[in-house]
Structure 1
Amino acid sequence: MATPLHNDLETKPGVHRQQSFVDFLSKSRNSIYLVVLSIFEALVVIALEAIIFKKFYYSRFSKEKLGLGIPVYLMIFIFSQAFQVFLGWDAVRNQNTIQIIAFTLFNLCCFTYAMVQFRQMDRALKEPILNNIPVAASLKHFIRQILIANAVVIAICEVIYIYLAARLYQEFGWRIYKKIGADPEIRNMYRWYQIFVMILKLDIFFFLGYSIQYLVLVLQLGDMEYPLTIIALPVTCLVLVSAVYAVRHESKNLMILFFIGLVAGIAYFVFKLARIYDPGEEANYRYFKEFLTFFGKQ
């Protein structure tokens, strides 16, 4: 069964003759600029992170299996950039004003994380047995230079994103107004729907980020949690996607299943966080505790 919002959209003149995405882009330069800039930023940032990884991989730190937190930090950043490109493209495709704002804030979080990386890298490279070895100081200096370039690129892109977001907010707002009209109730329903879908997308990002880190960096193939975590990946994503279907079609049964899934998810992450801070597991989470905690709490 369709939602009242869906029915109202269908009855508005011209709504059933929506423009194709390509036609829309041809009339919205700001949308093109935002998508292209997000791709450019991702390529540059991923390239810089790859340079750091290559330098680290062929250094004595890697050979001595020290500074193991560095691959974690790089992987998170690369994953976040790929997700940000999707976020921007999807926001433009759906003309979603809420997601445009979330996209800008997400990039701001990436900039904050780029600044935090300075402290993270310094701490990860502070290995007592290598303190007096020249390669340690040389590697730290090289990584610091790359991190500065990384932060500058993201900061410049953020300023441009803020300008584009302001323009697109007005542009999309007018297009949405023409689609759903001036009815305050319908507009409010549509706004909450956009917020709900945006939260679900972020949930998928944080869950995948957490699970990938946990699988690659903590678990071993013989661990009992390894297959369970792999099974949880598609199941959780399916639950989150089903929530969108349930809202669009007013399916009470699916929403009940979604809430049951949320409760199970909370229990799952409480268990994982308890394991992370278990004194007996300290050695397994030495380099990854902060990041797993951050992703697990989202």
Structure 2
Amino acid sequence: MMESQQPVKPGLMRRFLLATSEIFSKKWPRLFFLAVTFQSAICIAFEAYTFGRFQGGLADMNQPNWISNLAVQAELKTIPTFLCLFLLGFLYELVLVWDALQAKNTIQIIGLCIANVALLIYTAIQIEQIREAIGNLSGAGAFTDGGVWRDVRPVLICVPCILAAITIAMSLIAWRLYQEFAWDILKYIGADYRMKKRFLYYQVYIALLKFDFFFFIGFTVQFLVVVTGKSDIEIGLTAAAIPVTIGILFFAAYFTRHEIKLGMISIMVLYLGGLSYFIFKLARIYDPYHAQDYMPVRKSLTAFTVLTILLIILTIINGLICMFNFGKGLKQHLQTSHRQDADKDTVSYSLNDVKQTPLPSRMTID
């Protein structure tokens, strides 16, 4: 008798390809992903052109008089920092879009539309900040080409316009996705209104954690690269906070999914610490004794700080609601749906990839 073989669990790449093919097999998920991809490609290209034009118009900045000028050095880092943030922002948004579509998470999709509005505001702010940076550097004699601002201004104006158009398209498609994915929530959670509400708060909380990560990283990059007047201790602590924050967000999701109350309480304490830190930083940006250090990225850093504070407050509120929902049955639904997804991937892998041996066309006698 032949022993039944256990189905082989697909690897990460196989599961990624299966999820991606499922996204592209349906109209509205495909359109949503392509819209964000188009936006990312165009906006990154425009930002890259701005960076190239900016760098190409500069004089030789390796001269000792430029190197020793801290104000000029801070202004020089403005546009590279913006480009870095846009690369991070658009690529991270693409990852979140893929994640939301494969998980059929309508809450995260709505969050992505809101995040696109935040990026739109940021791109509008950068126009004035880049104009100021180019103006200050021109006044200091750092440019050999006086037409840099004239060339990059139309490109910079196009970026928020593109973001506005794509945000509208994303919002319209998100409504269709909401209708399309509604059945999946019903399938996993059932028709119980209270359970669906608990699941909604859980989805909101997990989505907030993902957006918290980006805005914290965005703030940290600007602070470490552009802001002057930092002590070595402050730089070290800020840099060390990046892996710590990733760990906090990971465990926040883990504790919520597995309903570990003590872990959630410790996470809440850390949230309050983070909230205090960003409130302190916001006050320091406008402190007369330190305002000059933040001047090159004052507006954008303010935007990131305010958004991060709002996100942390929302995260704390949703985290508390999720914690109060512990022990009310959601954990079983989450773990069941997770196992079903894994089983579905395994079955699709085994059925598609197992080669069938042809049956003999006639009986044979040995």
**Coarse TM-score class (shorter-chain normalised):** 0.7 to 0.9
> Aligned with 2:83: secondary structure?
helix
CA distance in 2, matches of 1:250, 1:274: 36
Residue number among 24, 41, 44 corresponding to 2:42 in the alignment: 44
Structure 2 residue aligned with 1:21: 19
Conserved 8 A contact 1:38-1:85: yes
Task: Please say which structure displays the higher CA radius of gyration.
Answer: 2
1:129 maps to 2:127: no
Q: TM-score w.r.t. structure 1 length?
A: 0.82
Q: How many residues align?
A: 277
Specify the alignment match of 2:32 in structure 1.
34
Cα deviation for residue 250 of structure 1 reads 1.1
1:10 corresponds in structure 2 to none
Pick closer, same or farther for the CA change 1:179–1:62 going to 2, 3 Å. Answer: farther
1:159 to 145, 160, 168: 168
1:87-119 CA distance string (max 9 Å, x none): 211110211111111111222332333333333
Amino acid at match of 1:129: G
Aligned: 1:259 with 2:268: yes
Confirm whether residue 244 of structure 1 aligns to residue 257 of structure 2.
no
Residues 153-182 of structure 1: per-residue CA shift (max 9 Å, x gap) = 323322321232111110111221222221
What is the DSSP-based 3-state SS (H/G/I as helix, E as strand, rest coil) of the residue aligned with 1:288?
A: helix
User: CA 1:213 to 1:115, structure 2 compared with 1: closer, same or farther past 3 Å?
Assistant: closer
Amino acid at match of 2:23: L
Output the aligned Cα RMSD. 2.6
Residue 220 to residue 285, structure 1, CA distance change in 2 (3 Å): closer
Q: Which residue of 2 aligns with 1:183?
A: 192
Q: Which residue type is aligned with residue 249 of structure 1?
A: H
User: Contact between 1:96 and 1:194, CA under 8 Å: does it hold in 2?
Assistant: yes
Instruction: Evaluate the alpha carbon distance shift between residue 61 and residue 254 of structure 1 in structure 2; reply closer, same or farther with a 3 A threshold.
Output: farther
Q: Give a deviation string over 1:43-96, Cα, whole Å, max 9, x none.
A: 221111011011101213784637443333333333221222122111102111
CA distance in 2, matches of 1:86, 1:101: 15
CA distance in structure 2 between the aligned counterparts of 1:121 and 1:22, rounded to whole angstroms: 38
Contact 1:180 1:186 in 2 (8 A): yes
Percent identical among aligned pairs is 33
1:116/1:271 CA distance change after superposition, 3 Å = closer
- Cα offset, 1:185, TM superposition: 0.8
| SS state at 2:270 partner | helix
Asked whether 1:81 is paired with 2:79, we answer no
Q: Distance in 2 between matches of 1:192 and 1:226?
A: 36
The alpha-carbon deviation at position 28 of structure 1 amounts to 2.1
Residue 54 (structure 1) aligns with: 52
Paired residue for 1:91? 100
Q: Amino acid of the residue matched to residue 28 of structure 1?
A: K
The answer on 1:106 being equivalent to 2:115 is yes
Bigger shift: residues 177-186 or 104-113: 104-113
Name whichever of 105-114 and 84-93 sits farther off: 105-114
Change (3 A) 1:261 1:33: same
- What amino acid does structure 2 have at the position aligned with 1:172? F
Shift of 1:221: 9.4
In 1, distance between residues paired with 2:60 and 2:53?
9
- Structure-2 change in CA distance of 1:62 and 1:213 (3 Å): farther
Whether the 8 Å CA contact 1:56–1:62 is kept in 2: the answer is no
Structure 2 spans left out of the alignment, 5+ residues: 1-17, 67-71, 309-366
Question: C-alpha displacement at 1:209, in angstroms?
Answer: 0.8
Quickly say closer, same or farther: Cα 1:238–1:62, change in 2 above 3 A: farther
Q: What is the Cα deviation at residue 207 of structure 1? A: 0.8
Q: Is the 8 A contact 2:126 2:300 kept in 1?
A: no
Counterpart Cα distance in 2 of 1:31 and 1:281: 47
1:139 and 1:288 map into 2 onto residues whose CA distance is 20
Q: Contact 1:246 / 1:254 at 8 angstroms: preserved in 2?
A: yes
Letter in 2 for 1:38: V
